[in-house]
Structures are given as C-alpha cells and as structure tokens.
C-alpha cells in the first residue's frame, strides 16, 4: 500500500475523519487556491470538531485509550437468514455475505455466533465530532447549524479513494472505541447545541442497529437524523431506516458498473434502487459525486448520469461535484482540475438539474445556491461558512419559488 504524508490524528490518535475536502494540498490549478491552513481559518469551525474526550469527560486522552481499546458490544441483527450447518446469510446489504460460524462478513463488524448474526459495534463509535452541516455536505438542510456526527469502524465497500480508510477498513479490535449508548449520544448532542445527528464518515449501514436506536431517540428529542451513505443497502432495511431519517446525502460515486466493481468492490444498480427508495419515502435527498481524474470524469457518462437523476429523482435533487485529492490507493493521480468541475456543473445545469454544487473548491461560484426561477443567489457560501441567506419560509426571498430542503428545525 502506498503511503505518503502521515494522516492528521485527533486526541485519541485516530485519523481525523473528513468528508470530501483537502483543499490546497496538492494539484495544480489556475483557480485561486487556499492552503489547508488558510481554508480552515476561513471556515472557522472546521477544527472546532471537538473530540469525544471533551464531551465524555476523560481527563486525558491516554485514559480514554486504555479504557476503551478493543471494547466490543454486540446486538442481534434483525436482518439475516439462518442456513444449513450453522451458516447465515446477511440480508442487510446487497453483498449478501454467507458467513460460517465464528466468522465475520466483509464489513468486519458482524459476526456469526452459533448460527445467529450480531453487530459488534453497537454503542461503540470510534469517531465523534461536531461538524457544520455543510461539511456532510448538506446545502439544503438547516444552513449554518452544527451536526453531532459519529461513526463506528467498518464499511461494506472497499473504495480505493476512501478518505477515512483507517477506520472504514479496520476491525473493532484494531482501534479505540468509545462506550456511548444511544441515550448518551442524544444528551451530549443537545448539550453541544447541535440540531441534528449525522451518521457519517464510514458507511452507516454497517452500524444499522445503533443508528436506528439513536434515530428513534433523536426524533423524540427534536433533533434531525441525517446520513451520508454509499446507498449500498437492501430495500427492506432501507425502507425501515427511512421512517426515521430526515435527510440523506448519497454518494453516486460513478455511473458505470465497471467503476463500482473496479474501484469500490461494489455494484451500481443497488445504489440506484436505493436512491429511488429515498425519493419514494420522501427523505430529503442530496447526491455527491467525487470526481476522480481518468476514473469517472468522462463528460458523456456524467451527462447520462444527470439525465437519469432528472428523470428518476427529479430536477430539484441537489448534486455536489466534489474535488478529489490524491490519497489512500489513488495517490498517484492528480487532483481534479477545477475546470473539469466547472464543466460538469454546466453539463448538469444544461441537463436540467436545478441545484448543482462544486465541492472542495472554496470561492467557486458553485458553492452558492441560486434560485432556478429568478436566477438570483439565495444562499452564499465559502467553504463551510454561510453568508447571506435570502430565503423566506423555505421560498426564494426574491420571487417566492419554493426551494426543496429542510429549513426549519424538527
């Protein structure tokens, strides 16, 4: 595995979890670029991603590490089928792992114990931060609010460009985990003033039981539930999840089966099905497409994708074209040229999509929200910082057109 500069680590020695940004570190671009330090200063809030130690009162990071390493709690999975000889089939995601007794599925966090299938990460997140909701990214959900964000280890895909691979491709025993039952998540989220709980950083499907239990409590507490997901989940658990989920940002990582197979060890078609289900279930939906040079930056394929989105999900589905920075197993590639992102934005707008964003390029025009009717700018952004907002009751403050999203608290 090619390794370059060491990753940033938080108080616990964990890799700093991130969504889709590494501004200014690499890549040549004529676009006015920001160094990472400048960008963070500009955003102001990014490094206020407070670590769990602050929330849960560990006196020193080392105390928390010693106390929590290897902590594993179990919970019976509601989605598996017993097979002959004590084997089981996991029915949570389209991978449908067949797992013999004593073994785990590909996501590493589910284990067959005597013919029953268990989650091994219930109540044991490895990453907890308070992030601006714009970082998820959600641009149509309570702008300028903070989201109490968490993840456990594990993932059901194996993307070669994963930004959080040190936790997504780990087992529970490999990393320090916190002991945070759902009730404690809610009380700490309320204390921090967050307006939502975000299930993010890795694929939240793999900590499904934990997520849904937190979600029920969050609803009662008046907090929104939001997730950033790869959409690689089976229809039945997804429909159940939609009962509590207010908003989902789904990675549409590419638009060919080849891309999903070769770069993610996954499949595209189940993701497309999931997107339709989110729409049918009326969960607010945004999409993220991380644009990787030479891998998924073909403009004609991007056009096909946009046409599909408009037809199947609607023209008012926001999409974020996000800039790639070289990391993990794709370190030899260049960063995405800003010109490519600008072209993709034009293609998407020409295809009829109404809310098209450019991510990881602070200062780009594609960070703002424009009203598709009167074309005026209604939400101004730079990085994760929100400036002027011209919305009135969820409508354009100039012409009155309704703008899709969640604009008032739960």
Over the window 122 to 161, marking each residue x when it contacts ligand SF4 by CB under 6 A and - when it does not, the resulting string is ----------------------------------x-----
| DSSP one-letter string for 60-114 | SHHHHHHHHBT--B-EE-SSEEE-GGG-EEE-SSTT--EE-TT-B-TTSSEEEET
Phi, psi at 20, each rounded to 5°:
-105, 55
92 touches ligand SF4 by CB under 6 A? yes
Q: Is the dihedral of CA 322, 323, 326, 330 positive or negative?
A: positive
**Residue span binding ligand SF4 (CB under 6 A) among the ranges 52-60, 86-94, 173-181, 214-222:** 86-94
* SS percent in the chain: helix, strand, coil, step 5: 30, 20, 50
Among the listed residues 203, 209, 257, 213, the one whose alpha carbon sits nearest the alpha carbon of residue 233: 203
Q: Is the dihedral of CA 213, 217, 223, 224 positive or negative?
A: positive
CA 123 to chain centre: 19
Q: CB of residue 275 vs ligand SF4: minimum separation in angstroms?
A: 18
DSSP E strand stretches across 155-260: 196-199, 224-229, 247-251
**Residue span binding ligand SF4 (CB under 6 A) among the ranges 89-97, 140-148, 253-261, 273-281:** 89-97
Q: CB of residue 14 vs ligand SF4: minimum separation in angstroms?
A: 22
**Residue span binding ligand SF4 (CB under 6 A) among the ranges 88-96, 183-191, 211-219, 239-247:** 88-96
Measure the CA–CA gap between 290 and 69, rounded to whole angstroms.
33
**Residue span binding ligand SF4 (CB under 6 A) among the ranges 52-60, 104-112, 216-224, 389-397:** 104-112
206 touches ligand SF4 by CB under 6 A? yes
121 touches ligand SF4 by CB under 6 A? no
Q: CB of residue 189 vs ligand SF4: minimum separation in angstroms?
A: 26
**Residue span binding ligand SF4 (CB under 6 A) among the ranges 92-100, 181-189, 215-223, 305-313:** 92-100
Q: CB of residue 230 vs ligand SF4: minimum separation in angstroms?
A: 11
3-class DSSP assignment, residue 218: helix
Phi, psi at 373, each rounded to 5°:
-90, -60
81 touches ligand SF4 by CB under 6 A? no
Q: CB of residue 228 vs ligand SF4: minimum separation in angstroms?
A: 17
Please say which residue, 210 or 357, places its beta carbon nearer to ligand SF4.
210
Residue 352 has a CB neighbour count (10 Å cut-off) of: 14
Cβ contact 367:358 at 8 Å: yes
Figure out which of the listed residues 52, 107, 121, 319 binds ligand SF4, where binding follows CB under 6 A.
Answer: 107
Please say which residue, 79 or 370, places its beta carbon nearer to ligand SF4.
79
236: Cβ–Cβ under 8 A, 6 or more apart, which residues?
Answer: 79, 91
Please say which residue, 51 or 156, places its beta carbon nearer to ligand SF4.
156
Please say which residue, 97 or 162, places its beta carbon nearer to ligand SF4.
97
Measure the CA–CA gap between 282 and 241, rounded to whole angstroms.
12
Q: Could you tell me whether strands 377-382 and 369-370 are parallel, antiparallel, or unpaired per DSSP bridges? A: antiparallel
Q: CB of residue 90 vs ligand SF4: minimum separation in angstroms?
A: 3
Q: CB of residue 89 vs ligand SF4: minimum separation in angstroms?
A: 8
Over the window 5 to 44, marking each residue x when it contacts ligand SF4 by CB under 6 A and - when it does not, the resulting string is ----------------------------------------
Measure the CA–CA gap between 14 and 7, rounded to whole angstroms.
9
Please say which residue, 68 or 95, places its beta carbon nearer to ligand SF4.
95
Which residues sit at the interface with ligand SF4, rule CB under 6 A? 90, 92-93, 95-97, 105-107, 110, 156, 206
């Amino acid at each position: 595995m090619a390794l370059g500069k060491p990753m940033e680590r938080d108080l616990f020695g964990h890799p700093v979890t991130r969504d889709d940004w590494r501004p200014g570190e690499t890549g040549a671009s004529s676009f006015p670029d920001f160094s990472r330090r400048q960008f963070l200063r500009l955003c102001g809030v990014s490094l206020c991603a407070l670590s769990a130690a602050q929330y849960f009162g560990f006196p020193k990071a080392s105390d928390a590490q010693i106390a929590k390493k290897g902590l594993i709690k179990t919970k019976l999975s509601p989605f598996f089928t017993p097979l002959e000889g004590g084997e089981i089939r996991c029915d949570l995601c389209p991978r449908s792992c067949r797992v013999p007794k004593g073994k785990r599925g590909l996501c590493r966090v589910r284990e067959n114990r005597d013919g029953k299938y268990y989650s091994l990460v219930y109540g044991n997140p490895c990453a907890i931060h308070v992030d601006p909701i714009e970082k998820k990214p959600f641009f149509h959900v309570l702008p300028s609010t903070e989201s109490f964000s968490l993840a456990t280890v594990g993932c059901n895909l194996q993307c070669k460009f994963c930004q959080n691979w040190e936790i997504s491709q780990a087992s529970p025993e490999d990393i320090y985990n916190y002991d945070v039952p759902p009730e404690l998540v809610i009380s700490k989220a309320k204390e921090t003033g967050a307006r939502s709980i975000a299930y993010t950083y890795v694929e939240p499907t793999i900590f499904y039981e934990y997520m849904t239990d937190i979600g029920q409590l969050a609803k009662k507490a008046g907090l929104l539930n939001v997730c950033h997901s790869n959409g690689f989940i089976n229809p039945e658990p997804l429909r159940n999840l939609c009962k509590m989920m207010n908003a989902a940002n789904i990675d549409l990582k590419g638009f060919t089966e080849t891309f999903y197979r070769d770069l993610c060890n996954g499949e595209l078609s189940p993701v497309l099905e999931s997107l339709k289900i989110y729409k049918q279930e009326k969960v607010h939906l945004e999409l993220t497409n991380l644009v990787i040079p030479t891998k998924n930056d073909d403009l004609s394929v991007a056009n096909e994708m946009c046409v599909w989105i408009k037809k199947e999900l609607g023209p008012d589905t926001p999409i974020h074209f996000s800039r790639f920075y070289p990391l993990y197993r794709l370190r030899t590639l260049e960063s995405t040229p800003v010109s490519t992102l600008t072209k993709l934005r034009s293609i998407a707008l020409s295809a009829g999509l109404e809310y098209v964003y450019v991510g990881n390029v602070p200062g780009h025009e594609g960070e703002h929200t424009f009203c598709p009717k009167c074309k005026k700018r209604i939400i101004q952004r730079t990085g994760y910082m929100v400036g002027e907002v011209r919305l009135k009751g969820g409508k354009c403050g100039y012409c009155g057109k309704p703008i899709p999203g969640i604009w008032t608290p739960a």
